[in-house]
Amino acid sequence: MFLGVVSMGLNGIIDSFVFFPDKQLIGTPNDLEMDYRNLWITVEKEKIIHAWWVPAPDPGAVVLFCHGNAGNISHRLDNLAGLYRLGLSVLIFDYRGYGKSRGSASEEALYADARAACARAGELARQAAVPLVVFGRSLGGAAAVGLVEEPGISGMILESTFTNLADMAKVQYHLPWTGSWLAGRFNSLDRIKNARTPLLFIHGNQDYIVPFELGKRLFQAAPEPKEFIAIEGAGHNDTIETAGQAYYEKLAQFINSLKMVES
C-alpha cells in the first residue's frame, strides 16, 4: 500500500511537469468566420470533455485534432482555420482540466479522452462518408499514437512529437538517470509499432523543445507506409510560418491520398 501511495504521488508530480492547462477560452471559430458547434463528449460514463465541431462544406475528410500540452482549444484557432481552408471538417477537443472539460489531466486520462473523441469523430466521418484523419501535435502526438489500433482511422499526421517521457526528460531537465522509470510514460516509441494506417511525420530541424532526433527515432520505429517531412529552419512552434504554403500543400497531398476505411 505504501508503495502504491508513493507511486501515485510521483505520477502526480510528473503530470504537473507535463500538463499546463488553461481554463479560459480566448476566442471561438466564429472569430475567424468559421461556423462551429459545441460538443460534449462523455468519457468512461462519468467524465465529460468539451469539443468544437467545425464542419466544412463538402469536406474531403474529418480531422481529429489532438493539441499540445499548454493552453486549450481556443489557442489553436489558426490551426483550425488552415485545415478548414483545405476543405476539411475538424473536431478539436480539450483534455480533462483544459478549457471547459471537467476533471484533471493525467496520462491515463489523455488516452481515454482521445479515444472518446476519436469515436465521436468516427461517427461524424461516417455520416459524411469521408476518411477520418488523426492529427497530433507535440504532446498531442502521444494522444494520437495512443489511437493507432482504433478502428476506422484512414491516416495519421504526427507533428513535432516525441518518443517517450524519458527521452524528453533528458533533453528538458538533463536527467540521464530517468530512463528506467520514465521510459514507460507517454511511450509512443512502443505504441507506434502497432500502427495500421499511413503516417505522415512533420518536424522542424531546429526544434529545441522536442528535438528533431526524437521525431526521427519515432518515424524509424513506425511501420510502412510512412513519410517524414523535415522543415528546414523551423523550431517547435513555427512550422507553418517557416514552410509557408508548402506546409498545407503537403497536408492536402497526404489527406487526398487516403481512402475511407470501415470501422
Active site residue 89: no
Residue 207 among the catalytic residues: yes
Catalytic: which of 50, 67, 203, 236?
236
CA distances from 122 to 13, 54, 117, 125, 133 (A): 34, 14, 8, 5, 9
Q: Give the integer Cα–Cα distance in Å for 167 and 204.
A: 18
What is the number of alpha carbons within 13 Å of residue 255 lying toward its C-beta? Answer: 25
Catalytic residue among 138, 154, 160, 188: 138
| DSSP codes of every residue in the chain | -HHHHHHHHHHHHHHHHH-EE-------GGGGT---EEEEEEETTTEEEEEEEEPPSS-S-EEEEE--SEE-GGGGHHHHHHHHHTT-EEEEEPPTTSTT--S---HHHHHHHHHHHHHHHHHHHHHHT--EEEEEETHHHHHHHTTTTSTT--EEEEES--S-HHHHHHHHT--GGGHHHHTTTT-HHHHGGG--S-EEEEEETT-TTTTHHHHHHHHHHSPSSEEEEEETT--SS-HHHHHTHHHHHHHHHHHHT------
Catalytic entry in 15, 94, 167, 207: 207
Which residues are part of the catalytic machinery? 138, 207, 236
